[in-house]
A = this chain, B = another copy of it.
Amino acid sequence: MDMWLSESQIKDAAMTYKVKETLVRRKTPFQDLAIVDTEAFGRMLLLDGIVQTTINDEYVYHEMITHIPLLTHPNPKKVLVVGGGDGGTIREILKHPSIEKAVLCEIDEIVIEECKKYLPEISCALTDPKCEIFIGDGIKYVHEHKNEFDVVIIDSTDPFGAAEGLFGGSFYKEIYECLTDDGIFVAQTETPFYLPEVVKKVYDDAKAVFPITKLFMAGIPTYPSGYWSFTLGSKKYDPEKANVIDKYDLDTKYYTKRLHSASFVLPKFIEDLTK
């Protein structure tokens, strides 16, 4: 039997993946979780039928959402990840020697449980003593922690359903207060090819709160269009002017110190969304 998984990426177009095996599929209180083993990308986590991460290309997303803010900040000690139950962002955060504590606030503990079981290459750092796991609502957690984190990373699903409240101005104000005086926030913010209005709204909402707000881009094969945006809001440090060259080296496959600032140089139609 040939089994193919199909993921709608834009109305009337889809990516399909030949599946070797479905490792787990279960309804959680929040979503429909599946981990499947695909021929082309290895094991893959899906939530509500949307590809979240795959063994073969996860490094791009996790490196870029982490190292851009953590190397922009001169001395990040405490970092909060909202979402990110697969653990890939925590793994990248803990590569930074200054980190004292990395908090993972994930609403769905079954994501963590199944990723620990089936995606150990990604979830491996969740048992690190510097990682603190909090199961609960990210909006509530951020509200209850003021002036505490050097970096807050929103590693969420798409802005529909469970994660909807993680995109928008009122939440960004709470993040601003959750950050220390020179703190930095970053979020995954969809592809400007397919959802320019979402990219623009998130950018405008963040810009209304943070003195420095910028978009950066990365190539991610299993995400819609293959070209993904992240939005960064900063109280003090400009990520394009950060002196990353003199900082410690990291073991990476995608991020480089030269790419750090180059990833903020946007194609015209994306630059136009930030005007």
Q: Is A134 in the interface zone, CB < 8 Å from B? A: no
Closest residue to A193 on the B side, CB-wise?
B221
Give per-residue flags for A1-20: 1 if the beta carbon is below 8 A from chain B beta carbons, else 0: 00000100011111111100
Contact of A268 among B224, B252, B267 (CB under 8 A): B252
Q: Does A274 contact B (CB under 8 A)?
A: no
Q: Kindly state whether residue A41 has any CB partner on chain B within 8 Å.
A: yes
Copies in the complex: 2
A23 lies within 8 A of chain B by Cβ = no
Interface flags, A134-169, vs B, CB<8A=1, else 0: 000000000000000000000000000000000000
A251-263 near B? 1/0 per residue, CB < 8 Å: 0111110110010
Measured between beta carbons, the chain B residues less than 8 angstroms from A11 are 39-40
Q: Is the Cβ of B13 less than 8 Å from the Cβ of A41?
A: yes
CA distance A266 to B254 in the complex (A): 8
Task: Return A122 CB to nearest CB of chain B, in Å.
Answer: 18
Q: Which residues of B contact A31 (CB under 8 A)?
A: none
Contact B17 A13 (CB under 8 A): yes
Q: Is A226 an interface residue (CB 8 A)?
A: yes
- Asked if A245 is at the interface of the complex by the 8 Å CB criterion, the answer is no
Residues of A within 8 A of B (CB): 6, 10-18, 38-41, 57, 60, 191, 193-194, 217-221, 223-227, 252-256, 258-259, 262, 265-269, 271
